[in-house]
Amino acid sequence: MAITPVISLANYSDPADAAALVALLDGYARDPMGGGEPLSDKARVGLPDALAEHSGAFSLIARQDGEPVGLANCFTGFSTFACAPLVNIHDIAVLPSARGKGIGRALMRAIAEEAKKRGACKITLEVLSGNEGAKALYASEGYAAYALDPAMGSAQFWERKL
């Protein structure tokens, strides 16, 4: 059954928003899709302030009956080909107890609205290949694997830890 959450931009200096952000992200980090490990003490203590200092960062918190149930952490970047801003969804999470109720879809739509307000030309995200639920949601909202030329294959997300 779909519910209509209240979604708002997080105010990183508001103690309630900061606590909700950390709790929701920690829940996601502990989930297998988030790596299965709790947030570090450094992240627990410093994340809201670090996000506030990061130009282009914004977070959306979804609440149901006043309780935080979902989170999206996003960053504004830049598309050189389009010569315009883009928005990258770095984290999107819904509490297990709230999944399957339309919270993720509502967050995706709120992100799109915020991206439009910021003049973004596109929204990007990464998803684990085995996260079929997330992939189905993203596809239903118009997202697809990125390819400039299908003959060259789709883009892959790589990393190098420092």
Q: Write the pLDDT tens digit of every residue in 57-104.
A: 999 999 999 999 999 999 999 999 999 999 999 999 999 999 999 999
The whole model's pTM is what?
0.94
Domains of the chain, start order? 6-152 (3.40.630.30)
Q: Give per-residue burial for 119-134: e unless 16+ CB within 10 Å, then b.
A: ebebbbbebeeeeeeb
Residue-wise pLDDT for 40-59, tens only, equals 999 999 999 999 999 999 99
CB atoms within 10 A of CB 93: 24
Rounded CA separation 38/83 (Å): 38
